Each structure stands twice: as C-alpha cells, then as structure tokens.
Structure 1
C-alpha cells in the first residue's frame, strides 16, 4: 500500500475531536490503496469461485444493502447501513503506539471507525491478533458526557463514566464496545509511518453476525460526525475522491484526500450534494437517463439517489427502471434471455452480437456518460445489465463509477466526476 498522511493534533470541529497538521503540509493530501474484496490481491479472494458466481454474490449483497438504506432513511436513524460481509473495498491501517496493522473495510455508507479489541469474549475469528488497548501507550477511553459520545445512535454510561456504544446492522450483526481515541497510522510511500493521534474509534468487545476475517473492523467514510472524513475534514480541505479500477485490472483502486483528491483533468462535471437525515448518506439528484434521443425521466425529487462505493449494482426505483429498460431493449434490438436465477432483470445471450449503447445519467447540472463497462457484464453464458429495479430508494453503485475519478467536495457540497483510466492513478 502506498499512502501519505498527516501528523495531527486535537482541535474542535462539529463538536468532535479533529486534527491539525504537524510536520506535513495539509496541502499535499494523501492517498490510500483500496483492495477490491474479490480481486486476487485480496485476502478474501476465493479462487474456486467463477466470475459469474462472484457477480451474483455481489448482486445479492447489493439487494441486502438496499433494504438497510431504506429502513434507516425511513426511520430517520443515524446508524450504519453496512452489511459487513457485503463490504467491497479493504484498506490497511494501524492502531496504537506501537502501531499494529490491520485490514478493514473502507465504506462511504457508514460513519464509525471500529476494530476488534481485547478482552473480547464474543468476537468473530480473525487471522491477526486482536488489538490490545493496554499495549498502546496512546490509548484513551472517551467519557460518557462528551460530544463524541452523544453523536452515537445508541450509547450508555458505565460506572466509571466510559462511553459504551452499540452499533447494529440491518442483518442483525452488531458491534458493542468502548468509544475511544488512539493513534491511527498509515504506511507512506517512503516507508515511514505517519499518524493521526487521538482519532475517535470504537474498541469492539462484542462483535457478532456476518463479520469475517481477515477484516478486523470498518473505516466509516460517510457524512456523519464520527466518520474518518468528518474527523479530519479541515485537514483535507473538506474533500476526498476515489478512482475505481475495472474488475479485470491487476492494479488497486485509489482513495485520495486533500489536494490529491482534486480533479485536475478536463471533462469533469459536478452536481450538488444533497444533505438529509441521516447525514451519513451522500445523496444526489438524478433527473433521468438517456440513450440516444430517448430519455427515461426520474422525477423531480431532490436527493433521490444514494451514491455508494459499497453497492455493486445500480438500483433504480421500479417505474423509472421499467421506462429505462424499455429504451435499452429498443436500442439493442435483440431478444432478451431470462436469467434463470432471477438476479438480473435484463440479460441477453453472451454469444449474441449485441452493441451495448452508451447511457447518459442526467444528474442535476451534470451529464455522466456511462460506457459498457459501467452498465453490462458477462455472467456465464449471459450478458446482463448491471442496473436492476428497486421497490424503494435508488442507489448509484460502484460498477457505474468504474473509470471515473469521483470527488466529494464537502465545503462546496458537490460531487464531481471525471472520465479516467483508474489503472494509471
């Protein structure tokens, strides 16, 4: 992993602890490798699975993720919608002093940073040793009355005034532990460790459900106050971006912060970032999707689609989807083939001579031209559209974002897209 990070001190931002830079200029920014869960470089990689099996597995995770986004938005709750086993990208980071390195899921759809800690009578098995707070000279527990503790969706005070959290997930998975601070550090490109002292994270002592090794926890990159992005917001110029490589690429994707996150190439388009409750989610306004001179209209609702790096497929509200599917069928002209598993709504025989059309997603103020790699994929003997209907909210998934640099400017409240060969980042 090639990363560069800042040294930081405590300051105050949005009622929480954030950091100011020591020794490294904030303007330089930093980058982190993102390892796709199913790539050969991933510890999750299962060489016995075919590409079709992997695609179907990820598609099912997309459906599950949709349900949790919907339930949390409807409840106006501030908690993580992530199904841990459905996390797509992994990143390396170290906790404590001296630093101990772990792999964790990087996710734009959740906030809390947490890791498994000792003592842990109810932890899932992981290959690396559990993090031991007593072995770290910089570990501290956060008091119950702090603003950080109050930002949790569920918390309680211990007899010693420590902040205990419960973070539950839609599939009944959960993590329970102590809200804490310690140094989070990353490997820089020159082989040195640079660090964020007093970073807020959950020290999980009871973690159950669909979590699995080798991931030792999660790194929340959402818009809520406890996320890593929010904690270091002022030090990264309120911006981050990522560039997702195609599934066939041997290189890793990149997660960029600060000045490195800025899109400098031509062809970028920007759309407003809509803020609603819960603040975790990054919402955009999608007006329609065009193929040639035909357009499927999405309606006039602001913030009607979640942009999410952890959902594989793009899911569109069913009426909107049906209109788009009709336009796709007309543009392709061939007879569709039913997916026997029912995972995908529109498929064609892989041996059929099909010209996949360019789709233009019309976000507010930004027309995004999606190529075939973003919208169709071979699934065994089928060629299937990576867009499916949703009976609730819409999600702009990570296949649709491949080979775009996607920049989140939290100061200007915009999301920008630039066509990019992400394998060259």
Structure 2
C-alpha cells in the first residue's frame, strides 16, 4: 500500500492487487495484475481505514475539506523550501519505553569525537543533558532479557577531541544551581529532581551532538551543545570543598537504582536544553515533537512545527521556572465527567501521574 498526491494536491491512496497463486502447485489463478485508485475521502478508503469524522461525499463540507487540505499541502511544500527540515538523532528517530529502567522513554544519542553512543532517558521536565562521566561505579550494562545485555558507555572528556569544559565566566554558569570550580576554571552544577533524593552533580562541558535530518538516508548534522558530566563514585561534599574531581561527582536516588542509568536528555524550555541550543544556533525552529505508541515505541523530531489545522493547548509560562505546564479543565472517569480546573506539568521523565485534591478525589471516587 502506498500514498500518492494527485495533480490537485489532494491525497490518494493506492491499493495494489497482485496475482493469487496456488501454494502447492505454483499455478497462477490470474494472468494479470493491477491496482485501483481511490481518493482519500472516498467510501472505499473511509471503510478501509475506519476513519470517523470525514465529510460525506458530494456535500459542501466534503468540498470544503478538500480545498482546505489542498491549501495545507501546498503551504507545507512551500514552507519546506524556506526553513530547515526537522532533524533527529543520528541513526534514527526511534524512542523506546524500557520497563526495567523505570518505564521511561529512551533513545540512543551519539556524542563526541570519535562518536560514542549512550542510552539516555528523555525528560521534558528538566533542562540539562548529562551523561555519567569518568566513573568507576556507574552501570556498564543492563539486562534486556535473560542472557542478553546491552553495553552502556561512560563519557570521558579526555577521550573526545571536541570536548572542552565550560569556563566560569560563561553566561550559562550564572544560575543558582551552578557555581565556579576555581581550581579547574570550570562551571560546576547540581540538579535536584522530583524523585526523592535524586540528583546529579558535575561540571558542564561543550561537545558535539551528532544529529541527522529525518530522512532516509540521513544527512548528518553535527551540533555543538553543552552537557553535564556526572561522576558516580565521590561523596557530595567533596564536590564543593575539594578539587579532586575531573568531570563531576555523583548521581543519587533513582539514577543509581534503575532509571536513567546512562544519562538524561533534558528537553525543557531553559536555554541550556538541547532544543533551545539547536534553535539559538539556527539548526531548527524552537520546537520539537514526541509521539508515543501504546506498545512503547515512538519517535522524536527537533524543529517539527506541526500542521496549521492541529488542535493546540497553550502553556502556562512561569518566568521563574518555565515548564510545559498546561491547564486541565475536565476529568472523565468512564462516563462520569467532572468540570474541574487545575494546572499540571507534562513530564516524560516521570513514570506516574501525581494529582492533588480535589482532582485526586474525583478520580479515586470514580474508580472505587
């Protein structure tokens, strides 16, 4: 099955029918083959795709939808000639949900020169991209199934020719959670997360993130980014009072117990997040998209601005701590619908939904 655009810009669906053969004798039951062409809004396609909400053929709404779609297709075609196409991780845009690693969504990223791969958790609830760095106690592998394991690499600035520590006078170092390591002349950081006693501490370094266009084959895109290196085998106090660390200090809490054991990819709004860096350097527009499949496989793209006719939800921007915060106005538990308004953060780095009253009680009472 394939898709093709008509001369008018509307989408057609082509369904091919080949010859049928007798599997035992190899005798053909037909001597020719061909295919039928059906328009997207035809009754055949509507039945085949089981789509709801398409207008009835021959109605005013039908022709209005046709014209609207043609306009969008032409607009997208013109837009791709003037803006950069979406990009994703080099090697593909696939994301995976891994139950044994905290039910978070993961992807393989490639960093440094020569390039090295890391399996990182994707987190819209934080900004920093960090990797375990120069450590002896960090996880080196994890078991996928019985008898099969995946190797986990450890980042080391000394082995990447494109790596350099972020100096103390950098503008990104002037933040409450970052301070200067005078002895190393490098910007140090500490990030504390929602989960109890979970944090990462280290220094910031500049290096290259290897990306590619979301095409097949990919065109390589090497983007200079800032990331954090977190060491696993030093006590927290050493970080602030001693200079015997190189890349960072420790990971605590869930980062040592099965979640994001090979790094965390912050996708937040701060200027240090990778989407923000890509936009500021002109690689993509300041947007990205993530899709999640019920089976745990999804995809991610940077610079995806969506379509003009899609429904949108505005963010509640808080200047002190900008997050993907949205307003929820209604809760439905089976057929019971309750009008209730509260704000919530969309966070791919959190495995569970956390609700306060009265929203929590509405759901708890509805399922009891």
Pairwise TM-score range, normalised by the shorter structure: 0.5 to 0.7
Q: CA RMSD in A?
A: 3.0
SS at match of 2:262: strand
| Partner in structure 2 of residue 30 of structure 1 | 87
| CA displacement, residues 178-207 of structure 1 (integer Å, 9 cap, x when unaligned) | 21100011366426643212x100122223
TM-aligned CA distance change 1:269 to 1:179, over 3 Å? same
Give the length in aligned residue pairs.
Answer: 250
Pairing 1:148–2:172 present: yes
Partners of 2:175 and 2:263 in 1: CA distance: 20
CA drift at 1:87? 6.0
Partners of 1:105 and 1:321 in 2: CA distance: 28
Alpha carbons 2:103, 2:351 under 8 Å: kept? no
| Partner in structure 2 of residue 388 of structure 1 | none
SS at match of 1:298: strand
TM-score (norm 2): 0.60
CA drift at 1:225? 2.2
1:282 equivalent among 307, 319, 324: 324
- Pairing of 1:340-359 with structure 2 (within 5 A): 346=367
The structure that has the greater radius of gyration is: 2
Pairing 1:238–2:280 present: no
Deviates more, 1:125-134 or 1:235-244: 125-134
TM-aligned CA distance change 1:291 to 1:172, over 3 Å? closer
Alpha carbons 1:124, 1:208 under 8 Å: kept? no
| Partner in structure 1 of residue 301 of structure 2 | 256
SS at match of 2:173: helix
TM-aligned CA distance change 1:104 to 1:143, over 3 Å? same
| CA displacement, residues 77-110 of structure 1 (integer Å, 9 cap, x when unaligned) | xxxxxxxx64611111111111111111111011
TM-aligned CA distance change 1:261 to 1:242, over 3 Å? farther
Partners of 1:193 and 1:140 in 2: CA distance: 22
- Pairing of 1:79-98 with structure 2 (within 5 A): 86=102, 88-98=104-114
Alpha carbons 2:230, 2:251 under 8 Å: kept? no
TM-aligned CA distance change 1:192 to 1:271, over 3 Å? closer
| CA displacement, residues 254-300 of structure 1 (integer Å, 9 cap, x when unaligned) | 11221x44136x5x32221111155352111222235799642324x
TM-score (norm 1): 0.52
- Pairing of 1:26-425 with structure 2 (within 5 A): 27-31=84-88, 32-38=93-99, 44=100, 86=102, 88-118=104-134, 120-121=135-136, 123-126=138-141, 127-151=151-175, 153-169=177-193, 170-186=195-211, 189-190=216-217, 193-197=220-224, 199-205=225-231, 206-209=249-252, 210-212=254-256, 215-234=261-280, 235-247=283-295, 252-258=297-303, 260-263=304-307, 268-276=310-318, 278-290=320-332, 295-299=337-341, 304-324=343-363, 328=366, 346=367
Partners of 1:286 and 1:183 in 2: CA distance: 38
Alpha carbons 1:87, 1:310 under 8 Å: kept? no
TM-aligned CA distance change 1:320 to 1:102, over 3 Å? closer
Alpha carbons 2:118, 2:153 under 8 Å: kept? no
Unpaired runs of 5+ residues, structure 1, are 1-23, 39-43, 45-84, 329-345, 348-425
| CA displacement, residues 130-183 of structure 1 (integer Å, 9 cap, x when unaligned) | 222122111111111211111361323232421122223342233222211000
Partners of 2:139 and 2:82 in 1: CA distance: 39
Partners of 1:142 and 1:135 in 2: CA distance: 17
| Partner in structure 1 of residue 34 of structure 2 | none
| Partner in structure 1 of residue 24 of structure 2 | none
